[in-house]
Structure 1
């Protein structure tokens, strides 16, 4: 099947970004209701082909859009993002929606409260359109589940969307919403962003509050997925803040999210080209090397670096697999028959880790985090491929005929940054000969989310030349 433009067929209203919508709402040349209707139509139109949504909330979205319309008419919007169409991943609580975590073992009863990130976005007036698909418990970097089926890549429906925020990436790519909430425990925002040709940010850990705490612990982040770095910056501001339900946020102040203008000339960039696991596809390697050359031509100093630490794959497995064991322990034995076999496998492996090994892994992680903080004190940013491989067959955990047995083995540019908790954005950086997107990752120091997104916006310009 040949690749296609995911935005083909999207109406004009579905192509507008957040700033354009705010300007149109303010001038009253557009209504949030018109935009919500166009977005709902687009979501329904594409879902049978790509399976991006668990459900579309037409009634709730239109009610919210009407309230937004009244606020803009009165000159009293709740924020510059008031009335912007938004989707939420099926792993984050939304008042009035059932949240299934992609699993038939969960209840379809609606929740009566918002997760903190959702509450912040609701307070900013965002219009919630639909819920996006995830694999069971968000355990892997592709999106399929026994409950909701396989989510497909909008560039080529025979390929995976990536995951675990695969539905969110598809929704962004096809224009079914402007803002899309994803989660990222080992690449689950950045991998589908790479595979689907959109922008995704894993923020600094603690930037976006979370409740309830993830079973996967402090490798799990919540962040924005959009079609541009500028939109990601607006969305991040709307979903960020302190929430006392999230103890792991701590009380330390993060750098403010005020707009930053990143001139990459004179910046020192570390070029990370060797994944922490597996090997790098030559076509992706060549594409990112071209970007590095363009950065040098733009006046940046680009230096090859190796990531500090060793055996990071095993280190991540100790955190991820033990988290899976924790999540499985919440499911009664009598309800486990239909659970994804891959999830059961890693959960059982995680349960075999002794407590000493898990605590030792936490200490090793701290050492790696220190080394990464020191590296980002020497470099303004790191750049790398977003993924080591292009999108492969839909419904598969790993590419066929290759070296990989688990998704983590081809996610070697993603999971290390979950261990060290720096902000990391992925932007589109071209396509393969087969017409599949290639992603570029930009990593910054902890707390410097605004700087990373500003650099991403500048890189969008450089890559497009």
Structure 2
């Protein structure tokens, strides 16, 4: 039986009523916080099996997901069949990879053979698709167990996770707040212990934003690192990547999903090499710290600024040499991004039959209306500007290996809004720190760095040279070792009182 999750009105009504729901039993506690290596070690030693873990996590999803509405498809026979095949391989001593038997959730923008691909859209059918997207195929070949698909706004179009298909997704650290988007379902699932790793995607910050909002590690690989097919023509700077509670787990997942795919014309020929993450020495890395990343910032939060600045001594303690310097952009990155975004939304509207356009997400409709007025000259100008931005970034990174700065200008905000107060849909100008690195194609990551006084998670952004995801993983691990915030989970999971998620200290 396919999973039927509670809709957004149930979540919103529980928040408004002070939430009377209390979860008295939380299955999977013995497995839900284990990392990839801990799980596979247990499989090899027969301390537990992939089937046992899968059963417990399925029960955990059913018990806890109604609180957040992160899961959009859970097919128990499908999951248990994959887990049973993995168990048989371990019993015969023929495990396929470092991820064999590991439960993973997959954002519902990626195709999984045998599961629906709704994309958060009323225009998509509920019938199963026939073919995996390449990164999903690589995980299937590696023996991973596909636990569930996770919520996304329609086509990944928002900084929050809400759609007419799946409803609204809540932040496990505060049920009245958003987990961000568009990989908010993946983030909420990880924060509740629905497996150690999740597949997200990032066209303007959609991995890094929810990772920052939910105390997770999220990595946007460089463009071309993880093969894709078919390529996304609307958002050509969009990539898929790992989200996890620990840096090591994301590195293992990246090693799997970036393996070759001959159909992607932009895929890199070289393979990713896992870096040493036990106690990384950052000596030799030149690191720049910038509180605004050279961008116009209409919103500023002193708590976030202080937490981001606090990363500098951690990196220096690991051997990195840090200097305060910002990129100098030849043009505000928002200008070309806005053109690509509006034209991309217009292409979605134009491809939709006239009698069905009214069911598209209102943000797609409003941005598409702006895109309809854009000319070919506008697109060519934006493309030229994008090249200038990439050239300016490359010049900056000729002197630095890593740039450190904020992910978001504000902490998680109301679940009932698409954007913070004072801003309107579909305005992206309020969150300028993530999409420049989609335009340049460089790898970027969000690393947990602290909590506001109100108990809301904050991440720091690390940006690296093209092809140097390993540098980001090493620096992120150095931060993680010195500030192990991945161990701080939503308090109501321990208190057994979900209303406490609104008053974490």
- TM-score, length of structure 2 as denominator length: 0.87
SS of the aligned residue for 1:337 comes to helix
Aligned to 1:285: 305
Q: Against the structure 1 CA distance between its residues 54 and 403, is the aligned structure 2 distance closer, same or farther, given a 3 Å change threshold?
A: closer
CA distance in 2, matches of 1:205, 1:26: 35
Q: Is residue 458 of structure 1 aligned with residue 474 of structure 2?
A: no
Q: In angstroms, what is the RMSD of aligned CA positions?
A: 2.0
Are residues 1:105 and 2:105 paired? no
Range 182-191 or range 284-293, more displaced: 284-293
CA distance in 2, matches of 1:456, 1:144: 30
Residue 403 (structure 1) shift: 5.0
Shift of 1:291: 1.6
Gapped regions of structure 2 (runs ≥ 5): 1-14, 486-505
Give 5+ residue unaligned stretches, structure 1.
none
Name the SS for the 2:32 alignment partner: helix
Alpha-carbon distance between aligned partners in 2 of 1:83 and 1:297, rounded to the nearest angstrom: 37
Equivalent residue, structure 2, for 1:39: 57
Which of 257, 273, 293 is the matching residue for 2:273?
257
CA distance, structure 2, for counterparts of residue 91 and residue 147 of structure 1 = 13
Structure 1 residue matching 2:448: 3-state secondary structure = strand
- Aligned position for 2:219: 201
Distance in 2 of aligned mates of 1:133 and 1:170: 9
Q: CA deviation at 1:45?
A: 1.6
Give the secondary-structure state (helix, strand or coil) at the position aligned to 1:182. Answer: strand
1:380 alignment partner, one of 388, 397, 401: 401
Q: Note the alpha carbon deviations across 1:18-43, whole angstroms, 9 max, x for none.
A: 01011111111110011111111111
Q: Is 1:117 aligned to 2:138, yes or no? A: no
Measured after TM superposition, the shift of residue 301 of structure 1 is 2.2
* Aligned CA distance change for structure 1 residues 410 and 462 (closer, same or farther; 3 Å): farther
Q: Distance in 1 between the 2:218 and 2:61 partners?
A: 20
* 1:15-414 aligned within 5 A: 15-249=33-267, 252-254=268-270, 256-261=272-277, 262-274=280-292, 276-277=295-296, 278-309=298-329, 310-400=331-421, 402=422, 406=426, 408-414=428-434
Mark the CA change 1:464 to 1:77 in structure 2 (over 3 Å): closer, same or farther.
closer
Structure 1 pair 394–427 and aligned structure 2 pair: CA distance change class (3 A): same
Are the aligned partners of 1:383 and 1:443 in contact in 2 as well (CA < 8 Å)? yes
Report deviation, 1:266: 4.8
- C-alpha separation in 1, matches of 2:143 and 2:477: 25
Whether contact under 8 Å (1:140, 1:407) holds in the other structure is no
1:94 is paired with a residue whose SS is coil
2:217, 2:173 → 1: CA distance?
15
Once structures 1 and 2 are overlaid, which stretch shifts more, 286-295 or 49-58? 286-295
